[in-house]
Amino acid sequence: MHRSVVITGLGVVSAAGIGADAFWRALESGRSAIGPIRAFDASGFPCRLGGEIDGADARPYVPKSYRKATKVMARDTELAVIAAQLAVADAGVATRGSGEASEAATGPDAPRLDPDRTGCQIGAGLLTAEINELTAALHTSRGENGFDVRKWGSAEGGGGAMDNLPPLWMLKYLPNMLACHVTIIHGAEGPSNTITCAEASGLLSLGESARVIERGDADACFSGGVESKINPVGLLRLTYEGRLAETGDATDSGEIVRPYDPDAPGGVPGEGGAIFLIEEGSKASVRGKGRAYARLAGFGAAHSGGPLFPGVFDGDPGDGFADSGIERAVRAALADAGITPGEVDAIVPGAFGVASCDRGERNALAAVFGARLAEIETITITPTVGLTAAGHGSLLAAAGALAIKHQRLPARRHGGTPHASMRVGPTDARDASLRTVLVCTPSLGGQVGAIVLTRHGETG
């Protein structure tokens, strides 16, 4: 028998703002947080819109004694550290460093998590080095014909250009630095892991955290995923991967980001994600039922068997293509939760706004839900915050958990003509009876994650 796992704390960082409330307000109002990229000069890129976070600084969210460490935090790590502190404060508990922050500090009387029984599984992406840190090294490695490998290296006969990188450069950009700093700050000394599976990372991390708690190796875990694609290298990668629309000088993404529209031009980059504090149900119940957003009732994972880059590096598989990994992951999550497809009240899917990806996801969901798919309410987030890569799955889960908490469906933005097989067209926010919500997403690379969220206290 599984130990019950519930979401008690939620920390969100997204283009909509800092905190879960800001994210929910943007979704509920149908407001887009996407605009022209300001972090750098994007004028040379086909896509010049993005979901950018304003005013994200990790220093107020860490103990004063730890603030020097923020100098060696990449953007992704800073965002994860902020989200983790918000999650702890939201859960009403305390950790080793949570009471010493200037922002979202926990009170002295808050119950403390046991370090030995607290784990951390966080999804991360390819952390992108800051351009100013690379240029000094790359400039001194130039030869007559461009980049010179010998000038870059430090072996005999080399030019040692790589020595111009900052001394702690590697420790700043390793993907596991997100979990590393979170565990150090909060004293999480239980099972820890980093999952790098693109958009599926956050859901796979939540699934692993749930398994850690279910088997009794921890009572609580930090879990989720964060990434920033608002940087030149991240934007270039997404461009080559065929994920992005050509926005030109447009300032409004309303007619650009169009999930499940067969004629959608592509998505836009974003940054952010969510870190959850999830706990064993009986531990959370001691502090009151109202503390839990939802129960994490089911988890499934799979890998797509079809083309991973349809229409880009692989041939277009046609309108009938169904992503088999999504179907398997969704069926596994439903089975794990002990429910049938007919019991799902709403779906929070990947919905990238990339036509080839959305087609495979849509057809896979149709294979699970049949004609009923057109009747199930759907929550989409990409028109609001953009494509956040490793942060995407966790933001999907945050939207699902918040919908259950508020018993409301947020508004949907859509400036095109979505496929008739799914309910994804524009609509205002509205009240809804939500007992069971499915969250799922494919990913660049083929990994797929799916979770089932249910109202806390309900069986299933």
| Predicted pLDDT of residue 460 | 43
Domain 298-454 has CATH 3.40.47.10: yes
- Homologous superfamily, domain 5-130+169-291: Thiolase/Chalcone synthase (3.40.47.10)
Q: What is the pLDDT of residue 457?
A: 74
Whether 5-130+169-291 and 298-454 share one fold: the answer is: yes
The whole-angstrom separation of Cα 48 and Cα 414 is 20
User: How far, in Å, are 226, 268, 334, 452 from residue 437 at the CA level?
Assistant: 22, 26, 10, 6
DSSP string, 313-340: TB----TT---HHHHHHHHHHHHHHT--
pLDDT at 131: 85
- Look at residue 55 in the predicted model and tell me its pLDDT: 84
The whole-angstrom separation of Cα 364 and Cα 362 is 5
Structural domain spans, the chain: 5-130+169-291, 133-164, 298-454
pLDDT of amino acid 459:
47
Residues whose CB is less than 8 angstroms from the CB of residue 125 and which lie 6 or more positions away in sequence, other chains included: 76, 175, 196, 198, 201, 227, 389, 390
Q: Give the pLDDT of residue 129.
A: 86
Q: DSSP readout, 229-242?
A: --SHHHHHHHHHTT
Taking a C-beta distance cutoff of 8 angstroms, is the pair 122, 277 a contact? no
125 and 389 Cβ atoms separated by less than 8 Å? yes
Instruction: Please name the amino acid found at residue 267.
Output: G
DSSP letter string, 25-45: HHHHHT----EE--SS--TTS
Among 165, 196, 70, 175, residue whose Cα is nearest residue 127: 175
Question: What averages of pLDDT result for each successive group of 10 residues across the chain (460 residues)?
Answer: 87 98 98 96 97 95 96 96 98 97 96 97 93 86 89 88 88 96 98 97 98 97 98 93 94 95 96 98 66 94 84 79 96 98 98 94 97 97 97 98 98 94 96 98 95 80
Spatial separation of the C-alpha atoms in residues 19 and 234, rounded to whole Å: 24
Q: What is the pLDDT of residue 199?
A: 97
Q: If DSSP states are collapsed to H, E and C, what string results for 133-185? A: HHHHHHHCCEECCEECHHHHCCCCCCCCHHHHCCCCHHHHHCCCHHHHHHHHH
Residue-level pLDDT at 436: 98
pLDDT of residue 289: 45
- CA dist 331 and 336 (Å) reads 9
Cα–chain center distance at 185? 21
**Are the C-beta atoms of 327 and 368 separated by less than 8 Å?**
yes
User: CA of 413: how far to CAs of 15, 27, 224, in Å?
Assistant: 16, 9, 25
Return d(Cα 20, Cα 103) in angstroms, integer.
15
- Residues across the chain: 460
Instruction: For tokens 């499934």, name the residue.
Output: 300
- How far is it, in rounded angstroms, from Cα 195 to Cα 205? 6
Q: Are 142 and 148 in contact (CB under 8 A)?
A: yes
Gap between the Cα atoms of 63 and 8, Å rounded: 23
Q: Are 150 and 133 in contact (CB under 8 A)?
A: no
List of long-range contacts for 372-377, beta carbons under 8 Å, 24+ apart: 372/341, 372/342, 373/421, 373/422, 374/420, 374/421, 374/422, 374/423, 375/423, 376/344, 376/345, 376/346, 376/347, 376/423, 377/345, 377/346, 377/347, 377/409, 377/423, 377/432
Q: Which amino acid is at 434?
A: L
* Dihedral over Cα of 458, 344, 299, 190: its sign: negative
